[in-house]
Chains A and B, each alone.
Chain A
């Protein structure tokens, strides 16, 4: 397929393809981190994860409209405000849901699965009633559109770079929070041994609520970031949920590092294969490889060694 191209053309295409892989990686990381925190730390499978992301996207949409009508001079910076708001709104709703629903269902994984799936349907229909069934267009500030011209042939999309930076920042933030803060130590203590953690005075219910809220909040930021590359509609969240679960399960449910490693390998595999074959086939092959590896390593790539 490479006949008739000069070396420099090929090199630049490969450079851009490498960038495409990296930007897919950051999308995966953003999608999966929130879910990994909730799934890994609490054992709750949150089927409404995609809908929380879309809540973040709708928050961005509303913020953008608000800035356009009331603060047009600050429009170019609205996105940062939108991401913050998306986090706050989603975390708040997450905390509310945890309090109203999830906490009654701990240690009943199948029931949580059904309950959060029901929640996702309710949220979708709520979006449909509030924002209409049609997708909404989120307008981006001028500086976020277009590409950076590196050489004649190599063009790097700005929004791809931006998503990458957000993903890195959030991954770093989560790492610091989980492994370098007192709160993170409490979370890990609760995960490893709940009765003992309670015995030493950790408020495990509070930790659960905060963890769930954090996971939802990160989903909200991811949703805000995805308005740059995807659609914002009542059922857009469904487009992400399968990939999200794939990344989290493949990485090993209780390991955040595993999530990152798995996001990296899946995204690289997929984008490389997409280049050499058609999109549908690439997806099928990726899934086959993941299934194969999971058969050999049912715990995922990086299983946490815990006493059972």
Chain B
């Protein structure tokens, strides 16, 4: 991986900027003669900061874990990003240049993520990075990407409370997922009492904080709030507590292997989710997770997401078809996978709007960009670098797919720093 070498890559790093400047002038003068034939803008014009852009290629980075515990979640994102890149290349590339990617493995280890990000930015001079999955990996990469002024497209739904000029967040921040979900449960299901349950780390805790505030605001009641260590496998006690408290809604943000244990044990304890007594609303189980849990164990639960594989619109049908053609018929596509797919497209549109690969110009051009071909329908980049998108509620079926039962009529405004919710 990363075998392409540009003229810039071969130069000693000490004098790279100066040398590069003069080389560009040379290249530009040579090119002046030849560019007339195509509408491709000359490289020195679209790349003033020494990124790995040549006359017919541009290099980007993909930075996810393909080994270690997080590989299970991140592989879908890698696949989606590669698919988007292939499609963009097939459609003529970005500013007439084919995208080449350098893939690095974050290995489920946060310092490794930071180190690889530095490598991508300093050594490969990538024009954008599509990557990171957990908040911890993003937080590790953040200082690097800000120091070297890179651009990261981050796909995962996350807890919010962040807004970097060097990151575009293509997943939802917490309020987009949670508020709509709870409002739906209250309005259509008449929910009055809630039990908040999550794995013990920042995302579930922040999410539940937001959920609790919102429930309080509505004048309803939280009857329990619990966290279990990551990887916890025994949920019998909490299941008993839930049976004792009889909440209307279990609001679950359990992640990873714990998820499998939790739903299997709920099922074994005689809970039938289709009864909706209690109703289970999750923000952490996508189609990807159901593959490990087993459709029969989650049949009837509700999830609040922005994307489900079963969404019925032409964009999504094309996307699902292309994804399966590329990676096999038995693939499933979860919320984050779709968000990862948006990354390369949003970057391409920003580059083309700015008419330049320069990070500063992309940053300026990004807010307001609309992507009408998104599998989830339509998205727009907000001033705060998050996406306007709709929130949907889906009910899990035995075949491991969600049936969409509700969709917010309007796009939800991203609000990474919700007032009164912190």
Contact = CB atoms under 8 A, between A and B. Distances in A.
A145 B299 CA distance: 14
Given A137-B294, A239-B231, A13 B244 contact: yes
A236 B259 CA distance: 12
Given A134-B75, A279-B227, A147 B293 contact: no
A278 B227 contact: yes
Contact of B72 (A17, A158, A229, A233): A233
B232 interface: yes
A17 to B, nearest CB: 5
B265 A157 contact: yes
B291 A134 contact: yes
B231 to A, nearest CB: 4
Given A20-B236, A20-B237, A230-B261, A278 B226 contact: yes
B240 A275 contact: yes
A47 interface: no
A155 B72 contact: no
B236 A24 contact: yes
B269 interface: yes
Interface stretch (B61-69, B96-104, B338-346): B61-69
Contact of B292 (A9, A13, A134, A239): A134
Interface string B218-246: 00000001111101111011111101100
Contacts of A239: 231-233, 257-258
Nearest to A284: B229
A207 interface: no
B260 interface: yes
B253 to A, nearest CB: 13
Interface residues of A, number: 52
Question: On chain B, which size bracket covers the interface?
Answer: 35 or more
A241 to B, nearest CB: 10
B264 interface: yes
Contacts of A38: none
A94 B288 CA distance: 33
Given A155-B269, A160-B236, A230-B260, A133 B66 contact: yes
Contacts of B232: 239, 279, 283
A204 interface: no
A13 B200 CA distance: 25
Contacts of B241: 275
A55 B404 CA distance: 37
Contact of A280 (B229, B258, B291, B293): B229
Interface of B: 66-69, 71-72, 75, 200, 225-229, 231-234, 236-241, 243-244, 256-261, 264-265, 267-270, 288, 291-296
12 contacts: A16-B236, A135-B292, A137-B291, A137-B293, A147-B270, A231-B258, A234-B71, A234-B72, A235-B69, A239-B232, A279-B227, A280-B229
